Amino acid sequence: NAGVMQNPRHLVRRRGQEARLRCSPVKGHSHVYWYRQLPEEGLKFMVYLQKENIIDESGMPKERFSAEFPKEGPSILRIQQVVRGDSAAYFCASSPSQGANTEAFFGQGTRLTVV
Amino acid sequence: AQSVTQLDSQVPVFEEAPVELRCNYSSSVSVYLFWYVQYPNQGLQLLLKYLSGSTLVKGINGFEAEFNKSQTSFHLRKPSVHISDTAEYFCAVGRAQGGSEKLVFGKGTKLTVNP
């Protein structure tokens, strides 16, 4: 009965490298959300996906960031050419259906450090 | 658009004392309200939520919150805290209608319970 699984838990990248963050939702959940938490800040919404579709990406930076949730496999948040400002904790959440009244279950996060 | 203000960034209290963590929100539409707790290096766990009905909501670990529409507040309370309640607490709001599933979070309140 696993919850939301994120890996890796910690990721160190040099400036200019790519970062790939993976999220396996709760079994049976088809809705995935990515949030970013900067130091001393709350979580900021990035993107909302359903299987094979991006529903809302209003919080995604326009460049270097992309997300996918394929039919099979985990959701991936990809950051190309990372910069120091990308250092943050990235959280994934999943829910069984849509609607803000549906509880979203959060993973433990991936802490990205760009050196 | 919605916004959330958590008025206290840090709240130190002694064990067995009562505590109130304040949260105010702003929204032009009806909202759902949530409190999440984050223990060090962990993901977020839902404490309680207000969707509709009774304005006093009881959650896990002895916490409760009261929705006050006229004051646009959703303060979190516990009558007697334990050392294990030391964590960061986030208030969040989601649209009740309109299909936007994302949550808007406050910046968090760090609760430290001292012996």
Q: Are A115 and A17 in contact (CB under 8 A)?
A: no
pLDDT for the residue B12:
97
Alpha-carbon distance of B58 to B54, in angstroms, equals 10
Facing A107 at nearest CB: one of B43, B99, B100? B43
Torsion of CA A50, A56, A62, A63, to 10 degrees: -10
Q: Do A33 and B90 touch (CB under 8 A)?
A: no
In this structure, the strands spanning A5-7 and A105-106 are unpaired
Confidence of residue B96 (pLDDT cuts 50, 70, 90): confident
pLDDT digits (tens, 9 = 90+) for A5-37: 999 999 999 999 999 999 999 998 999 999 999
| DSSP notation for B8-34 | -SEEEEETT--EEE--EEE-SS-EEEE
E strand residue ranges, A14-97:
19-24, 31-37, 43-50, 53-56, 65-68, 75-79, 88-95
In this structure, the strands spanning B64-68 and B56-58 are antiparallel
**Bond from prior residue into A39 cis (ω within 30 degrees of 0):** no
Among the ranges given (A22-31, B19-28, B40-49, B58-67), the one the predictor scored with the smallest mean pLDDT: B40-49
Q: Are B32 and A99 in contact (CB under 8 A)?
A: no
- CA B47 to chain A, closest CA, distance in angstroms equals 11
Confidence of residue A40 (pLDDT cuts 50, 70, 90): confident
B32: closest chain A residue by CA = A101
Tell me the chain B residues in contact with residue A6 when contact means C-beta distances shorter than 8 Å. Answer: 43
pLDDT for the residue A12:
98
Tell me the chain B residues in contact with residue A110 when contact means C-beta distances shorter than 8 Å. Answer: none
Tell me the chain B residues in contact with residue A42 when contact means C-beta distances shorter than 8 Å. Answer: 4, 6, 90, 105-108
Cα-flanking dihedrals φ and ψ of residue B21, to 5°?
A: -110, 125
Residue B11 structure tokens: 């709240």
